[in-house]
Structure 1
């Protein structure tokens, strides 16, 4: 590898944040905002899942393009892009589950296939799906596409576990949060075992934090009769946005370990 290539890799990977406790706190809050914000656009504004998905898709493309063009890691840009994936993931999952009429099991199956395909293509092209490999525009597109599908899958999983209609398991939002929270604890414990792939655990955790956020979002804005707290979707979204902004401002944000140091 030439010195110029190594410098480019070091520079490019620095746009990806280090995976710390603060990372996961902000990530869960972003996924919860994606649920309430996505539902506000599609349901409260009555724009529908297809129109909502197109609106958020435009935002996703703009923000990912800006993230790729950025020369350094900018926390505000990175987390705005994450929010774009969570809102788009919410509307896409609802579009698959409801508008296409495949139900929650069908939606989960389709989106899981898309996620596996995204990871498979990325791995075939680069030989790894580690975040430390994000060192070119092409790999960044792989990264953000995989994140989008993981967010979408998480939404579908959360709805499938909590929902009673469309083939849902009907366990409720509180039980859904407990189940996915427990699964995250297991992933955290496996992290202590050096033989387990850190890359695999990262993607498992990334997927699982989405249904946790989705069930928390549903808990906030769904009717009391359905097990929710019946907050206004807009009000809940604004509160979550304020919380996220505060976390980004207060919690340490640093670039991930560079590829040359991996």
Structure 2
């Protein structure tokens, strides 16, 4: 990727005039993003335990469709609608990776590269059609469709990657340390080496998934597996409450709403 990703090739009137459908990237964005990844990991496993794998996947799929329909229906970014869709994607993205592994016997070493290829294909098509991968350009239905396709692929990829590192010897704490260090790399590269903002953003975005999921798994699993043994239900509930708190604050303060037009 080059710095050309920062500048859309096509500028149309609807893109200039339409309201943004995504939040401004602030520290709150990254906090909530990590929280949704952990909550999605714990909630997916909790729902599968309570209802069974098949009903849980069906329920997760229905909630995802409804959340995205509402997100596409609104004409501008609305905090609670957007983050509800992200949570739904997080839960279903986890289920997608788990279905391949548990249901079909596909190893994480195979599924992770496959999800990476899917994400690369989404990015390639998105850039070919729209000329940009910048989230500040999400002002048309088509770009929004590309955006949510990429988001879903990042969650599935991150789930597979996090489970892969946890099962090949690193464990949950080792995975947390690995991804905590990895997520700093795009920020450092952007700040001091000149990595363009779009590449840095999407690189960090992918890494938030295995980071948050590893923390949630570590909190939920038993001490015999190297965790705190808090359980899936309490972890799901506590992370959900944290998300509600931050999203409620943003809905009230509007600190994540971009002001002014974006070229």
User: What TM-score comes out, normalization by structure 1 length?
Assistant: 0.89
Select 1:21's aligned residue among 18, 27, 48.
27
Match of 2:50 among 32, 36, 45: 45
Cα displacement (A) at 1:191:
2.2
Q: Note the 1:179-258 alignment, pairs <5 A.
A: 179-193=178-192, 195-251=194-250, 252=253, 253-256=255-258
1:42-77 per-residue CA deviation (whole Å, 9 max, x = no partner) reads 1x21511x4433321221121112111102221011
User: d(CA) in 1 for partners of 2:248 and 2:258?
Assistant: 18
Query: Matched residues in 1 for 2:97 and 2:258: separation?
Result: 30
Does the 8 Å contact 2:137/2:262 carry over to 1? no
Consecutive unaligned residues of structure 2, counting only runs of 5 or more, are 1-11
Bigger mean CA offset, 63-72 vs 202-211: 63-72
| Alignment partner, residue 156 of structure 1 | 160
Give the conservation status (yes or no) of the 8 Å contact 1:19–1:256: no
CA shift, 1:256, in A, is: 3.8
The within-5 A match list for 1:77-116 is 77-116=81-120
- Matches of 2:125 and 2:141, distance apart in 1: 15
Over the aligned positions, Cα root-mean-square deviation in angstroms equals 1.7
CA distance 1:145–1:257, shift in 2 (3 Å): farther
Q: Distance in 2 between matches of 1:175 and 1:20?
A: 27
**Alignment correspondent of 1:166:** none
Alpha carbons 1:12, 1:134 under 8 Å: kept:
no
Figure out how many residues of one structure are paired with residues of the other and give that number: 249
Moved more, 116-125 or 170-179: 116-125
3-state SS of 1:261 partner: coil
- Partner SS for 1:193: helix
Structure 1 unaligned blocks of 5 or more: 164-168
TM superposition outliers: structure 1 runs of 4+ over 3 Å: 10-13
Is residue 2:22 matched to residue 1:30? Answer: no
TM-score of the aligned structures, taking structure 2 as reference length = 0.89
Provide Cα deviations, 1:79-98, integer angstroms capped at 9, x if missing partner. Answer: 11110111011111111222
- Could you report, residue by residue, the CA deviation over 1:1-58 in whole angstroms, capped at 9, with x for unpaired residues? xxxx63x43454422100111100011011110011011011x21511x443332122
* CA separation of 1:132 and 1:13: change in aligned 2, threshold 3 A: farther
Residues 183-239 of structure 1, C-alpha deviation per residue, up to 9 Å, x if partnerless?
A: 111122112137312111111111000000110111111121111112221121111
Structure 2 equivalent of residue 57 of structure 1: 61
- 1:55 and 1:138 map into 2 onto residues whose CA distance is 26
Q: Who is 2:146 aligned against?
A: 142
